[in-house]
């Protein structure tokens, strides 16, 4: 069996790589088209394929649809893979949906929407395989008990000491934009300032760096970082500046999410209490990041939704102090993000394709 895999976006491209590796392990021939690369759809490239699996990117959907057009013209089965729920519903794909073989859904709840959009069929075989990697990192961080090594600021940040038993850790992961990060941090600070015994554990994004060849940008980042340091003096903060998102989520009592982060997906599966900040700044970031204002984790119940510092304060207080609220969120997470018996969805997808393409050998 010869299979082609392609998705322009990063997350979808990562999933394609995992699928391709599973196909190779099953002794199939593979063409893995590189992510973040345009203009790859060529007739010579798809000739001889038994099937093609593509994602559908947020803004570069035309790149995958160019492969779809070639596959349809050459009677090669074309399968759509969702790297996030709703990815199969990109508006540009509407006229092509009926000609796809089927959709590999990211969550079982997406079947009705896929059918109404025009796809002839869909199947849920498990979470997208790249989600497994984030989930495993988070669960490993929990098992390693990073919280035990967390230290908090005292005397206005002049010294550090270990957490007290009564301390509640609020986790926050930054994005690449320092100005938006500072805005979100201030919203969180305003929300927790009067709560008492709260420690803010913030981890910056590794990509939050200026272009060294742009002096004005370097100076702007420096100013924003200095502003952030002053802001953090308003609260008790943790020494987590070099921690990753998995370590923060594994140690936090409650996470605050302010964009479409992978860690929010892992957090929903790991049953980490979380609050999604839903305000205009975050919605603008989401429009730029995904083309949509909403984030499926919060919409499906994987995290509480809150708007502004008052709403965020209410949500955090409730999750910290009310066991019933935590249990209700846990139940919602279980319903919307059921843990699979086997996280290796990529193997199931390849086996599924084997059964369809060579049913007599299945």
Domains (ranges, CATH) in the chain? 2-127+341-361 (3.40.50.280), 131-336 (3.40.50.2000)
Using CA atoms, how far apart are residues 181 and 192, in angstroms rounded to an integer?
16
Query: Residue 51: phi, psi to the nearest 5?
Result: -165, 155
Using CA atoms, how far apart are residues 36 and 137, in angstroms rounded to an integer?
25
Averaged over 28-45, what is the pLDDT?
94
Look at the block and give the residue holding tokens 């499906």: 300
Residue 263 structure tokens = 């860690």
Using CA atoms, how far apart are residues 82 and 93, in angstroms rounded to an integer?
13
Using CA atoms, how far apart are residues 163 and 145, in angstroms rounded to an integer?
13
CB of 146 closer than 8 Å to CB of 137: no
Averaged over 34-55, what is the pLDDT?
94
Using CA atoms, how far apart are residues 185 and 346, in angstroms rounded to an integer?
37
Using CA atoms, how far apart are residues 231 and 275, in angstroms rounded to an integer?
21
Task: Give the range among 66-70, 73-77, 155-159 with minimum mean pLDDT.
Answer: 155-159
CB of 175 closer than 8 Å to CB of 259: yes
Which pLDDT value is given to residue 360? 62
Mean pLDDT over each residue of the chain, to the nearest integer:
94
For residue 161, the tally of other CB atoms under 10 A from its CB is 10
Using CA atoms, how far apart are residues 117 and 92, in angstroms rounded to an integer?
11
88-128 residue pLDDT tens: 999 999 999 999 999 999 988 899 999 999 999 999 999 99
Using CA atoms, how far apart are residues 261 and 282, in angstroms rounded to an integer?
12
């Amino acid at each position: 069996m010869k299979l082609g895999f392609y998705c322009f976006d990063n997350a979808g491209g990562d999933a394609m790589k995992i699928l391709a590796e599973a196909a190779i392990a099953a002794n199939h021939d593979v063409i893995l088209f590189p992510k973040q690369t345009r203009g790859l759809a060529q007739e010579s490239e798809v000739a001889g394929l038994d099937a093609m699996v593509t994602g559908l990117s947020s803004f570069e959907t035309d790149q995958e649809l160019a492969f779809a057009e070639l596959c349809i013209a050459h009677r090669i089965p074309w399968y759509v893979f969702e790297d996030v729920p709703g990815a199969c519903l990109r508006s540009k794909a509407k006229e092509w949906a009926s000609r796809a073989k089927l959709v590999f859904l990211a969550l079982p709840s997406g079947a009705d929407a896929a059918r109404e959009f025009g796809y002839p069929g869909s199947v849920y075989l498990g979470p997208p395989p790249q989600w497994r990697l984030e989930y495993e990192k988070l669960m490993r961080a929990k098992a390693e008990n990073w919280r035990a090594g967390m230290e908090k600021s005292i005397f206005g940040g002049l010294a550090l000491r270990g957490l007290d038993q009564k301390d509640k850790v609020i986790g926050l992961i930054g994005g690449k934009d320092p100005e938006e990060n500072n805005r979100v941090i201030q919203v969180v600070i305003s929300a927790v300032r009067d709560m008492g015994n709260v420690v803010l554990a913030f981890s910056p994004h590794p990509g939050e760096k200026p272009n060294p060849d742009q002096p004005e940008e370097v100076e702007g980042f420096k100013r924003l970082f200095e502003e952030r340091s002053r802001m953090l003096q308003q609260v008790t903060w943790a020494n987590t500046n070099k921690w990753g998102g998995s370590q923060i989520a594994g140690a936090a009592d409650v996470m605050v999410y302010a964009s479409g982060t992978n860690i929010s997906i892992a957090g929903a599966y790991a049953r980490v209490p979380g609050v999604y900040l839903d305000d205009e700044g975050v919605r603008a970031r989401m429009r730029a990041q995904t083309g949509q204002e909403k984030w499926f984790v919060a919409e499906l119940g994987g995290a509480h939704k809150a708007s502004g510092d008052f709403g965020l304060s209410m949500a955090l207080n409730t999750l910290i102090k009310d066991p019933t609220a935590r249990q209700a969120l846990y139940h919602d997470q279980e319903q919307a993000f059921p843990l699979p018996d086997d996280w290796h969805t990529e193997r199931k997808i390849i086996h599924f394709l084997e059964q369809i393409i060579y049913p007599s050998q299945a």
